């Protein structure tokens, strides 16, 4: 991938400032890539070409006057179809959500991007209500991997990850309740950050409660820092949002990793079977961190797999988000979602509170862990992308998507910042992700560590073929 479609958001803003190119030609290229890839990959619910070009022309005029609206003026972005984007429906991957309505409100993260002059290309695909770790739904069908269209893009922000990988905008907004920006980022060879819970305001509130985060999906860590500087501002509609942080995440990238205390846990203490190609790629990147001056020690966090507690919280959320549906609407749902909503509806309040207890203990354990270690490194996933249209890999014997995502969902339970960094490919040319986790409110450490890997040439993979 070369040309304007290969440039990061940081580089686009620099080019606009220097007059090397303009927002209109950049937007035209992003739209071309989106439209050409759509039949094979199915990353978009809707492409708003006319409106995007109108926004790009207004941005070009602002740059001509030397009066950009903000940090990402003229940068093409996409929005996952879980988040409100005014001017069109947000159906959340569901046939049970009608397209009719006013649709005149932006989600907080979308509103901040709009204030800063971003160009909105359209809405990207999601699994229904974001309920699983792959992206297919009864409404939009299967979203496929840009590296191999027979494989899944991951999910639930699969359309967002595929769009970034394809050059259809360098910045995408996704949501993550159990890995939903990190899983597809790992499968599609892009960067994704799940910020500390509350760092990016969310409205309307998620039925999955405080498991659900909003995060950027980008070409690299510098673009994610830029995005977080924009979307991390408070919004009065989010009752649980965090206070503003002093300074800039972008300015914090330059510190490097010298002296950083890194815990490397390749299998969470033998709890996870990781494919050899994934393990090797992650280990090489960890060795690069050590060469850059980080103190690296192989160490495992002190917790057993909290999958049962996570599923209690998650399935209860699935029941809640569909609770008001009558029998006719329920028949329209993804069959897997119908199963987990039924399981969630059978849970008692005491079952739910028992899962909350597990969550609180997990948070305590990780808080103590980070008194010793600044950053935890694991694989993002134990495998690379498997066949499209399936919730679990064929022949795995697994029942639900949580069976192959043991590195991601624990850190939604603890609300910690976590990122997936592309660090290589397997024998089939499919991307591998490295997972970075830091203590709550230390998003800066996650971004700085990832940025150091990019600067050292240890992160990033070759883009997919056209």
Q: Tell me the DSSP string of 356-384.
A: HHHHHHHHHHHHHHHHH-SEEEEES-SS-
Q: Which of 377, 177, 171, 360 is nearest to 267 (CA)?
A: 377
Q: Cβ–Cβ contacts within 10 Å for residue 21, how many? A: 16
Predicted TM-score of the model (pTM): 0.98
Distance CA 169, CA 458 (A): 23
- 207, 197 contact by CB (below 8 A): no
**Paired residues of 144 in beta bridges:** 152
Domain limits at 438?
4-244+253-307+339-455
- 164, 190 contact by CB (below 8 A): yes
How much is the pLDDT for 152? 98
Question: What is the arrangement of strands in the sheet containing 295-298, beginning at the earlier edge strand?
Answer: 44-47, 119-124, 76-80, 171-176, 213-218, 191-194, 418-425, 431-438, 375-379, 261-264, 295-298
Distance CA 6, CA 21 (A): 14
Residue 1 pLDDT more than 60? no
Using alpha carbons, list the distances in angstroms from residue 88 to 30, 78, 139, 142, 204.
20, 13, 16, 22, 16
Distance CA 200, CA 229 (A): 10
466 — pLDDT class (breaks 50, 70, 90):
confident
Given the residues 59, 109, 137, 180, select the one marked as catalytic. Answer: 180
Q: Which of 457 and 233 is assigned the larger pLDDT?
A: 457
How much is the pLDDT for 198? 97
Mean pLDDT in residue range 310-328: 97
DSSP, collapsed to helix, strand or coil, labels residue 338 as helix
Mean pLDDT in residue range 15-29: 98
How much is the pLDDT for 233? 87
> Would 414 be classed as within a structural domain?
yes
Distance CA 393, CA 454 (A): 30
Q: Which of 102, 77, 108, 79 is nearest to 89 (CA)?
A: 102
Strands (E), 241-311: 261-264, 295-298
Tell me how many domains the chain contains: 1
Q: Which of 75, 108, 109, 106 is nearest to 88 (CA)?
A: 106
In the chain, what are the helix, strand and coil shares in percent, each to the nearest 5?
Answer: 40, 15, 45
Measure the CA angle with vertex 257, ends 252 and 260; round to 5°: 110
39 — pLDDT class (breaks 50, 70, 90):
very high
> Would 316 be classed as within a structural domain?
no
> Would 350 be classed as within a structural domain?
yes
Distance CA 61, CA 356 (A): 52
How much is the pLDDT for 2? 62
How much is the pLDDT for 48? 98
Residue 433 pLDDT more than 90? yes
Query: Which H or E run contains 91?
Result: none
| % of the chain beyond a pLDDT of 90 | 97
> Would 200 be classed as within a structural domain?
yes
* Residue indicated by tokens 């066949």: 387
Mean pLDDT in residue range 412-429: 98
Q: Mind listing the pLDDT tens digit for each residue in 126-166?
A: 999 999 999 999 999 999 999 999 999 999 999 999 999 99
Using alpha carbons, list the distances in angstroms from residue 57 to 25, 46, 390.
10, 20, 41
Measure the CA angle with vertex 266, ends 264 and 267; round to 5°: 130
Given the residues 137, 156, 157, 420, select the one marked as catalytic. Answer: 156
> Would 97 be classed as within a structural domain?
yes
> Would 294 be classed as within a structural domain?
yes
Mean pLDDT in residue range 90-106: 96
Kindly give the pairing relationship between strand 136-137 and strand 141-142.
antiparallel
DSSP, collapsed to helix, strand or coil, labels residue 160 as helix
Distance CA 124, CA 90 (A): 10
- 411, 418 contact by CB (below 8 A): yes
Using alpha carbons, list the distances in angstroms from residue 453 to 187, 298, 417, 458.
18, 19, 17, 5
- 209, 314 contact by CB (below 8 A): no
The enclosing domain of 362 has a CATH number of 3.90.1300.10
> Would 322 be classed as within a structural domain?
no
> Would 281 be classed as within a structural domain?
yes
DSSP assignment letter at 178: S
Q: Mind listing the pLDDT tens digit for each residue in 339-382?
A: 999 999 999 999 999 999 999 999 999 999 999 999 999 999 99
Backbone phi, then psi, for 387, in 5-degree steps? Answer: -60, 140
How many CA atoms are closer than 13 Å to the CA of 219, on its beta-carbon side? Answer: 21
DSSP assignment letter at 329: H
Catalytic-residue membership of 180:
yes
How much is the pLDDT for 465? 86
Backbone phi, then psi, for 355, in 5-degree steps? Answer: -65, -35
Catalytic-residue membership of 157:
no
Catalytic-residue membership of 240:
no
């Amino acid at each position: 991938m070369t040309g304007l479609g290969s440039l990061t958001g940081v580089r686009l803003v620099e080019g606009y400032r220097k007059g090397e190119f303009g927002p209109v030609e950049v937007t035209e290229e992003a739209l071309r890539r989106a439209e050409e890839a759509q039949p094979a990959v199915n990353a978009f619910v809707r492409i708003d070409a006319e409106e995007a070009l109108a926004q790009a022309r207004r941005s070009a005029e602002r740059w001509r006057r030397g009066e950009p609206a903000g940090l990402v003026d003229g940068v093409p972005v996409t929005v996952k179809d879980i988040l409100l984007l005014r001017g069109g429906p947000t159906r959340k991957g569901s046939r049970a959500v009608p397209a009719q309505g006013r649709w005149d409100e932006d989600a907080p993260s979308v509103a901040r991007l709009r204030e800063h002059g971003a160009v909105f290309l359209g809405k990207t695909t999601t699994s229904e209500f974001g309920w699983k770790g792959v992206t297919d739904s009864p409404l939009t069908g299967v979203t496929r991997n840009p590296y191999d269209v027979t494989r899944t893009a991951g999910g639930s922000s699969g359309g967002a990850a595929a769009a970034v990988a394809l050059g259809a905008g360098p910045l995408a907004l996704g949501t993550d309740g159990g890995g939903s920006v990190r899983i597809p980022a790992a499968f599609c060879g892009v960067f994704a950050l799940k910020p500390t819970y509350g760092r990016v305001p969310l409205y309307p509130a998620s039925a999955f409660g405080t498991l659900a985060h909003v995060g950027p999906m980008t070409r690299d860590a510098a673009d994610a820092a830029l995005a977080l500087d924009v979307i991390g501002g408070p919004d009065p509609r989010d009752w649980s949002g965090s206070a503003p942080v002093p300074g800039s995440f972008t300015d914090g990238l330059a510190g490097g990793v010298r002296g950083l205390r890194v815990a490397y846990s390749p299998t969470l203490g033998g709890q996870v079977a990781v494919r050899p190609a994934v393990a090797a790629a992650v280990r090489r990147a960890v060795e690069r961190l050590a060469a850059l001056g980080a103190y690296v020690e192989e160490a495992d966090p002190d917790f057993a797999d909290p999958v049962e507690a996570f599923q209690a919280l998650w399935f209860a959320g699935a029941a809640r988000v569909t609770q008001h549906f009558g029998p006719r609407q329920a028949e329209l749902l993804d069959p897997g979602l119908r199963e987990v909503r039924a399981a969630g509806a059978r849970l008692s309040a005491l079952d739910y509170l028992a899962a909350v207890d597990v969550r609180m203990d997990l948070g305590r354990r990780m808080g103590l862990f980070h008194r010793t270690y600044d950053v935890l490194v694991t694989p993002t996933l134990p495998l690379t992308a498997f066949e499209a249209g399936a919730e679990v890999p064929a022949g795995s014997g697994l029942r639900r998507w949580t069976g192959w995502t043991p590195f991601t969902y624990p850190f939604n339970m603890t609300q910690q910042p976590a990122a997936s960094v592309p660090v290589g490919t397997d024998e089939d040319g499919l991307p591998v992700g490295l997972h970075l986790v830091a203590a709550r409110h230390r998003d800066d450490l996650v971004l700085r560590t990832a940025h150091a890997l990019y600067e050292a040439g240890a992160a990033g993979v070759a883009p997919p073929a056209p």
